[in-house]
Amino acid sequence: MSVSELRILENGDELAREAADFVVWAGEQALKSAGTFRLALSGGSTPKALYALLAGPGFARRFDWSRAAIFFGDERCVPPDHADSNFRMANETLFKPLKLAGDRIFRMRSEDEPALAAGRYEDGIRKEFGAPAPAWPRFDLILLGLGDDGHTASLFPGTPALRERQRLIVPNQAPQGTKQRLTFTAPLINQAHAVVFLVSGRSKAPALKAVLEDRAADPERYPAKLIQPDNGRLIWFLDHAAAAELPVEQQRVISHEE
């Protein structure tokens, strides 16, 4: 069972900077220990500032992204150039600015039939990690967000994906927006060496309190509670607004250099 590490920053920009420092640090550690850095990106809007920082002058030269293998923790089932596509967001903010080669970017083929796309993505992960079933691939770092409703990746309240214990990747349904999704499962996420949540904004405060503070809160209602790395770090990068409903002693604003 992992212990949650909280890092509460003044605002979204400071959160992105602190998270960028951590991503680069985690990448350097992975290169030292394994010669590669396998990470999964989060979708949504919060990570945009992080990805733009990583691709910017302050960070781009601190890490050799050509040695990374970049995956996606979930995707909306739309074409890769669609406005809702998580790949498109990462491509615009990170891949293109860094001029990353496509062979190190593992896109979910979300334009294909969902079950087929999920199976192919799972096969691709197992091949890249050299981890045939029933082994569980261990990502170096998985980035996640938190929805106002307590979802993470595309693990939404009351959906079948929450109860998956064998597969790495499954199709799932979102309650609104682009409903058809592909997502990492909780068991896959919980194998990671490090899981980082990026949570910004006052609208996240009630769900964050339920996930972090309410032992009685049901993971079926707050799926982010399922994320408990078996043997890895769990770090929450929060801004003050998202942390507003946490106990006062956890309100301190900190900034960490790894």
Cα angle 175-181-183, degrees, rounded to a multiple of 5: 115
Given its phi and psi angles, is residue 119 left (phi above 0), alpha (psi -120 to 50 degrees) or beta?
alpha
Q: Which stretch binds ligand 6PG (CB under 6 A): 56-64, 88-96, 152-160, 207-215?
A: 152-160
Binds ligand 6PG (CB under 6 A): choice among 137, 145, 171, 232: 145
Rounded to the nearest whole angstrom, what is the least distance from the CB of residue 25 to ligand 6PG in the complex? Answer: 22
Shortest Å, Cβ 108 to ligand 6PG = 11
Please select the residue that binds ligand 6PG; options are 44, 119, 124, 206, rule is CB under 6 A: 44
Q: Which is nearer to ligand 6PG, 46 or 191 (CB)?
A: 46
Selected from 9, 21, 40, 42, the binder of ligand 6PG by CB under 6 A is: 42
Is residue 45 a contact residue for ligand 6PG (CB under 6 A)?
A: yes
What residue type is assigned to position 216 of the chain?
A
What tokens appear for 29 in the block? 């550690």
**Smallest gap from residue 151 Cβ to ligand 6PG (A):** 6
Per-residue x/- track, 49-88, ligand 6PG (CB under 6 A):
-------------------------x-----------x--
The residues, ordered by sequence, that sit 6+ positions from 249 with a Cβ below 8 Å of its Cβ are none
What string of DSSP letters covers 129-188?
A: HT--TT-----SEEEE---TTS-BTTB-TT-GGGG--S-SEEEEE-SSSS-EEEEE-HHH
CB of 82 to ligand 6PG, least distance (A): 12
Using the rule CB under 6 A, which residue among 152, 159, 190, 191 binds ligand 6PG?
152
Matching residue, tokens 């001029």:
99
Which 214-243 positions form the footprint of ligand 6PG (CB under 6 A)? none
Q: Select the residue whose beta carbon is closest to ligand 6PG and give its number.
A: 145
258 within 8 A of 25, measured Cβ to Cβ: yes
Question: For 133, phi and psi rounded to 5 degrees?
Answer: -55, 145
- Mutual orientation of helices 12-34 and 47-54 as an angle, nearest 10°? 60
Of 180, 174, 179, 142, the closest CA to residue 155 belongs to 174
Single residue of 22, 37, 40, 46 touching ligand 6PG by CB under 6 A: 46
Instruction: Name which of 29 and 180 has its Cβ closer to ligand 6PG.
Output: 180
Which residues of the chain form contacts with ligand 6PG (CB under 6 A)? 42-46, 74, 86, 145-147, 151-154
